[in-house]
Every structure is written in C-alpha cells, then in structure tokens.
Amino acid sequence: MAQLRAFPQLSAGRGAIALYAPLAGEVDIGPLLHERFTRGAPVWLPRMRPDGALDFVAVRSPTELVRARHGVREPAPELASTPLGELEVLVVPGLAFDRSGVRLGRGGGYYDRSLGGASVDTRPRTVGVAFACQCVDELPTATHDLRVDTIVTEHGVEDPR
C-alpha cells in the first residue's frame, strides 16, 4: 500500500517499526515486509505470550518466523523481545476503525492488553491499516479498547485525534 510506504518513519527504512504478518482479509503488507527484509532493515513483529499480550521481536528474515496459534506467522520463541517503549511506530490491522480512532480487532484483545499499560508518552505511535470500506463513523467501545493515532487506507492518511 503506497500510503503506508509514504509514512515518514517507514519510508526512511530505519527506526524500530513494528508491523504484522497479515492474515486472510487483512491489508496485505507483505510487500512492505519483503522490502525491509531485502534492505536488511529489521522489522519488529508481534509474538503472542501465554498471558494474552504481545511481545515485539526484531526479525531480519522470513526464515525467523514460525506458524503459531490461529495460523499467525510470528517470530520464533528463541528470539529476544524488545521493550514496547523502544518502538517508534506500531502498525496494527483491524476489522474496522471509526473516525475517533477506535479499533475493532478479532476479539482476542492482544493489542489492547499489550498497549493498555503504556502511557501515550511512552508507547509507540499506533497506525491502523485498513481498507476504506472498513472505516465507519462510530464503533462501540470499552475503556480498555485501543485507539490508534493514525489510520491509513488506500485513499490516504487520517489522524483521528
């Protein structure tokens, strides 16, 4: 997706950028992952923990990924994680986003639990990636639901806050 590639931190090719390994129905950011791997730039990808939160792990090649629960590709268990506060940007998929940045995920709460304890000052900038048809005026929300800082669709970039 050209709009995501144009995001300043991503286009520079450096910095601690957390992406995701796309599942069916999610925006396919596979070409962006491939680009970064080809340039030798690390990519931080989420790995599910037993407590239902996510660790973020730097990987340099798709060979460092394994199939995990729900068919998700994630970093191998022997790779060390990076503290959340060291990430600059966290790109997250969603089933839907609303105009205020509320994100509807797949229902597991992984991103919500992972970011829930981080203050806005210490957490990475969160970028929701979706197709324009997945953006709606309003979603129901709970206090623990993640709001993203930016939403990127094939039509452009929107800062909901």
Task: Give 63-85 pLDDT, tens digit per residue.
Answer: 999 999 878 899 999 999 999 88
- Of 135, 137, 53, 143, nearest in space to 94 by CA: 135
Residue 157 near residue 151 (C-beta atoms within 8 A) = yes
Residue 141 near residue 102 (C-beta atoms within 8 A) = yes
DSSP string, 2-33: HHHHTSHHHHHT-S-EE---PPTTS---HHHH
Give the span between the Cα atoms of 43 and 61, in whole angstroms.
9
* Beta pairing class for 96-98 and 135-136: parallel
CATH value at residue 106: 3.40.50.10420
What is residue 119's predicted lDDT score, i.e. its pLDDT? 65
- Global pTM value: 0.89
Cβ of 106: how many Cβ atoms within 10 Å?
14
How many folded domains does the chain comprise?
1
**For 72-128, how does the pLDDT look when each residue is reduced to its tens digit (9 = 90+)?**
899 999 999 999 889 999 999 999 999 999 999 887 888 888 887 666 677 898 999
The residue segments making up the domain with residue 133 are 2-158
